[in-house]
Structure 1
Amino acid sequence: MKQPLGVILAGGLATRMGGGDKALLQLGGQSLLERVIARLEPQVAGLALNSNGDAARFAGFGLPVVADSVGGFAGPLAGVLAGLDWAADQGADAIVTVAGDTPFFPCDLVPRLLLASEGMAAPLALAATPRGDADTRSMTGGLIRHPTFGLWPVALRDDLRAALQDGLRKVVIWTDAHDGRLAEFPDAGDPFFNVNTPEDLAAAEAML
């Protein structure tokens, strides 16, 4: 399989942060988006940003901006589909997605997702961490799944489009239906810590 393309998911409403673009928040003198780009870019063959609204606000980052094709802020899967459609136009086989508000994700995210998906006809894998004290809503087999951090095959984009049009919104329901695998990241700490609230931003400053 070719090296996957990368897609940064920043299409949410950021309601817990009071609205606006979380990815543009400053952390240690850099925006969250700058930090995410710096971590993902060396791991992929090219990058795009999934966001909705006026793309001009991201012009300074030099990335193509792809909007959801499914209306009504349908969640991360809509961003995955937008990324898959963009990747198909580039002739790519797969994408890896990351969240635009998660500045500390692993620098070996992509190779570990690829390793987990070896042998699959349509490589599909999500990042996962040991349970610890994390939210258990996406837990399986003692692992917490991180649905915005995944490897997604272009070959399944029409299946995903149909699922979204039928009202599916929960990532793990779709990945489980296609026997998606898990790439475990047992590292100390919380590499998938994301900034949802002003308190989280303060915690991220402390983590720096």
Structure 2
Amino acid sequence: MPDTPPVIGLLLAGGLSRRMGGGDKTLRLLAGRPVLAHVIERMQPQVRRLCLNANGDPVRFADYGLPVVPDSIEGFVGPLAGVLAGLDWASVNAPDCPWVITAPTDSPFLPRDLVPRLLGPCLAGEADMTCAASGGQAHPVVGLWPVAARAALRLALAEEGIRKVDLWTARYRLAQVEFSSEPVDPFFNANRPEDLVEAERLASRAP
């Protein structure tokens, strides 16, 4: 959409969901709809295009009409592999968008102003990349990444063995953008079955 910033949205669903008992936790139901549907509803209006980082058969996500981008580094090496996949996808499919924003697909209450707030410090020249924070806690995988960093990230993953997001972002000017955790922490994530029960309770309070 031309009135949105030049940012590609990448929803991260490439993990193994061990704490949820396996399968795609983002397809579990919350308030009668898959968690993924809630995430898409909040993210899609904020970005030029939205895609999904997921491994395995993409057909299971066909109902959502999103491009499905698998990790380019094999072995489930963590969220940075998903970030790299998104940067690579954007460089080919959206060359007019120099930024990719990532968000996990198990966080159904993401802020509706996430993109402009994370983009602000980068446009102002205050940071190379940003990540979200709430309640004094950083959320490294909720981040805004420059597509221009993809070669450096591929090197860090494939040749240096970097796996932790914090170790890679420490090489750049990283700004944390604080979001209010009231009335609901917007970065609440449903990792376990009991988290889905809590999410049902919180759903009516989420902005």
Alpha-carbon shift at residue 190 of structure 1 (Å): 1.3
Native 8 Å contact 1:39 1:107 kept in 2? yes
Aligned to 2:38: 35
Preserved contact between residue 122 and residue 153 of structure 1 (Cα < 8 Å): no
TM-score, structure 1 normalization? 0.90
Matching residue of 1:141: none
Q: Does 1:15 align with 2:18?
A: yes
In the alignment, does 2:111 pair up with 1:117?
A: no
Aligned to 2:174: 180
Uncovered stretches (5+) of structure 2, i.e. residues with no partner: none
The residue that corresponds to 1:203 in the other structure is 198
Q: Deviations over 1:21-50 (max 9, x none)?
A: 011111011101110000000000000000
Inter-partner Cα distance in structure 2 for 1:94 and 1:48: 13
Letter in 2 for 1:145: A
Do the aligned partners of 2:51 and 2:66 also contact (CA within 8 Å) in 1?
yes
For residues 122 and 112 of structure 1, do their structure 2 counterparts lie closer, same or farther at Cα, with a shift above 3 Å needed? closer
Q: State the identity as a percent.
A: 52
- Is 1:146 the equivalent of 2:161? no
Tell whether 2:108 aligns with 1:103.
yes
Give the CA deviation at 1:118: 2.9
Distance 1:60 1:176, change over 3 A: same
RMSD: 1.5
Q: Is the 8 A contact 2:118 2:131 kept in 1?
A: yes
Task: Kindly tell me the number of residue pairs found equivalent between the two proteins.
Answer: 196
Q: Paired residue for 1:137?
A: none
Unaligned runs of 5+ in 1: 132-143
Out of 159, 162, 168, the position equivalent to 2:162 is 168
Structure 1's consecutive aligned runs of 4 or more residues displaced over 6 angstroms after TM superposition are none
Q: 72-81 vs 178-187, which deviates more?
A: 178-187
